[in-house]
Chain A
Amino acid sequence: MTQAEIKLCSLLLQEHFGEIVEKIGVHLIRTGSQPLRVIAHDTGTSLDQVKKALCVLIQHNLVIYQVHKRGVVEYEAQCSRVLRMLRYPRYIYTTKTLYSDTGELIVEELLLNGKMTMSAVVKKVADRLTETMEDGKTMDYAEVSNTFVRLADTHFVQRCPLVPATENSDPGPPPPAPTLVINEKDMYLVPKLSLIGKGKRRRSSDEDAAGEPKAKRPKHTTDNKEPIPDDGIYWQVNLDRFHQHFRDQAIVSAVANRMDQTSSEIVRTMLRMSEITTPSSAPFTQPLSSNELEFVGKSGDSGGGMYVINLHKALTSLATATLESVVQERFGSRCARIFRLVLQKKHLEQKQVEDFAMIPAKEAKDMLYKMLSENFVSLQEIPKTPDHAPSRTFYLYTVNVLSAARMLLHRCYKSIANLIERRQFETKENKRLLEKSQRVEAIIASMQATGAEEAQLQEIEEMITAPERQQLETLKRNVNKLDASEIQVDETIFLLESYIESTMKKQ
């Protein structure tokens, strides 16, 4: 794992789970798989806290465990999975567009909690939906269950691996850690539950504060003490399926941009038909039976013509387009022209570049060197003589898309780490002001609830002076901008990662 990735993971873990989990997580990412005692010893944290942190990480699918020989259990962190945390908003928003609010909340709950049983998810989502509905209306469990089943059918959620049921109980002691297995067929099998009920609306806070003493509250929330019918069957979000969806979206929109709407519809239909039959990292879709970019190719003549979408080609095009756009925005359109030229012609000499690009020698030289220093283009040496004498060697400029993509990806990780740090810095700078404004808002809210007059509210609002308000506005605007930038850099990361993965698989 590169330093940039480790830094980013550290920032993400710290923001979402706190310092202790971050320490353990980063240590595991750095050192690979380690047993429990070694982790505690190396990080200098108590065994107790390491156990808690590992619990949290395993619950969220960020750390896996394995039993090694001699009964030692080792824990391993998954750096790439930690980086997925950047993409949570995109997953949730996509589900919203496909399955509306119910689906959105289901995926949100699953992402926030890592693994959950179906009944727990349904109950929680129903409660949340009931909160937002008008008074008197409640959300039925059946509706939420239906959406859940649909999500499982389209593979957006999947079952977590289970402890295998051993028919012949071992005479010896049980293994130190269970080895979880999941059958391919069972991954999307929804248990037969009859969840009957409606969402509960949480009572408004006034009643809570005035009426119920603290002791009574716990009884209400855990009033059904019956055994949960699907205990042990946990569900998690299937990130690969989401990635497949994003990739399809990117391809369809690329086709729509390059050609017209009809072609993109054709491509979209082809992709949809092969959604479930193709594994997520296949270079080609399953051949279907019914036209021309490099994306779509003919793979046979049976059934009137079998057509296939060349996914690898598509991803390569998208990655290359990203690279071109980065060069254009960083160095200018002339540089971009040179870049596209070298990309197209594969290998070019200095002189040839000047001639083909129709740019004066001095400028062309300058631009090539700038791009060379940033590793967008590289030099290829072709010796004329066996002694590799520099005066008798060809030096050709070339673009190695894979390594340029890797370089850009690394840069993206660094960018996001910088963005997060800056955002944290801004928030910390204005912490006092933020806390003050939060307190004022809380007071206003409570006073409104208990019915205060306008004059009092006005007085409280004036506790925040105008320049402070200005400062708050600026802070809010900056933080929003930084957050939005994070989300958009993550889109680039997705494209580049998909391309790199597809290329590695192909080799």
Chain B
Amino acid sequence: MAGNKGRGRAAYTFNIEAVGFSRGEKLPDVVLKPPPLFPDTDYKPVPLKTGEGEDYMLALKQELRETMKRMPYFIETPEEKQADPKSKKAKDTDKGTSLANTADVLKKIEELEKRGDGEKSDEENEEKEGSKEKSKEGDDDDEDDAAEQEEYDEEEQEEENDYINSYFEDGDDFGAESDDNMDEATY
């Protein structure tokens, strides 16, 4: 057809000058794959603002986060509450120990604090169901504390005896799993 100059030769359908490339110039490389997930940046990010106000707000933020977790508005899922089957056992054994034990003193303090918080927020929570759930939460907090105490007791007892732990090999699955994949194969 008329207007089809230079058969087979590449021709642009638009005026290449308009976009800024002069004719015959080397065009930039074709992009073959998506950009990398963490591309290199030429410029480092600006440092954060520091100052009294910022420090105070930072402390506030962290405190708020902790406080909100302890408020009655924080609802835990049922799976988390039932996660410790051994906590029930711990609860029974703890009842037998004497109050003189430091660990128990700590547990009592935490229970009482949580009880106190639970009582204060009764005014705000109007539903009957809510208050029933809260008393259940209070019990669950006990269980959680008991579980924590039990873990701690184990560790303390471990350190009091004379056995050197490295003599006994733990299984491969014992202890905290490290999430980084460094040691895939050790020969």
Q: Which residues of A line the B interface, CB within 8 A?
A: 15-21, 48-49, 51-53, 55-56, 59-60, 88-90, 92-93, 96-97, 108, 112-113, 115-117, 120, 124, 202, 205, 208-210, 214, 217-218, 221-222, 228, 329-332, 349-351, 361, 364-365, 368, 389-395, 429, 432, 435, 439, 442-443, 446-447, 450, 463, 480-481, 483-488
Contact = CB atoms under 8 A, between A and B. Distances in A.
Contacts of B13: 390-391
B81 to A, nearest CB: 11
A337 B73 CA distance: 51
A97 B43 CA distance: 36
B112 A93 contact: no
B111 interface: yes
Interface of B: 12-15, 18-21, 41-43, 45-46, 48-49, 53-54, 56-58, 60-62, 64-65, 67-69, 71, 73-77, 80, 99, 102, 105-106, 108-109, 111-112, 115-116, 119-125, 127, 129-130, 133, 148, 152, 159, 176, 179
A385 to B, nearest CB: 12
B74 A350 contact: no
Contact of A443 (B54, B76, B102): B102
Given A49-B75, A93-B56, A390-B18, 17 more contacts: A18-B74, A52-B127, A52-B130, A59-B124, A89-B58, A120-B123, A124-B120, A209-B112, A217-B116, A361-B20, A364-B20, A435-B148, A443-B102, A446-B106, A484-B54, A487-B57, A487-B58
Nearest to B104: A209
A93 B18 contact: no
Contacts of B67: 112
B61 A18 contact: no
A52 B14 contact: no
Closest 7 CB pairs of A and B: A390-B14, A391-B15, A350-B20, A89-B60, A89-B57, A89-B61, A365-B20
Contact of B14 (A88, A364, A389, A483): A389
Contacts of B57: 89-90, 93, 487
Contacts of B18: 349-350, 390-391, 393-395
Nearest to B49: A488
Given A18-B77, A484-B54, A51 B65 contact: no
B115 A217 contact: yes
12 contacts: A15-B65, A16-B65, A17-B75, A18-B76, A18-B77, A52-B127, A93-B56, A108-B64, A117-B123, A202-B116, A329-B45, A446-B105
A52 B58 contact: no
Contact of A112 (B71, B75, B119, B130): B71
A48 B125 CA distance: 15
Contact of A20 (B14, B77, B130): B77
A342 to B, nearest CB: 14
Given A17-B75, A222-B122, A350-B20, A483 B61 contact: yes
Contacts of A221: 116, 119-120
B102 A446 contact: yes
A442 B148 CA distance: 12
A112 B64 contact: yes
A149 B80 CA distance: 43
Contact of B176 (A53, A330, A392, A432): A432
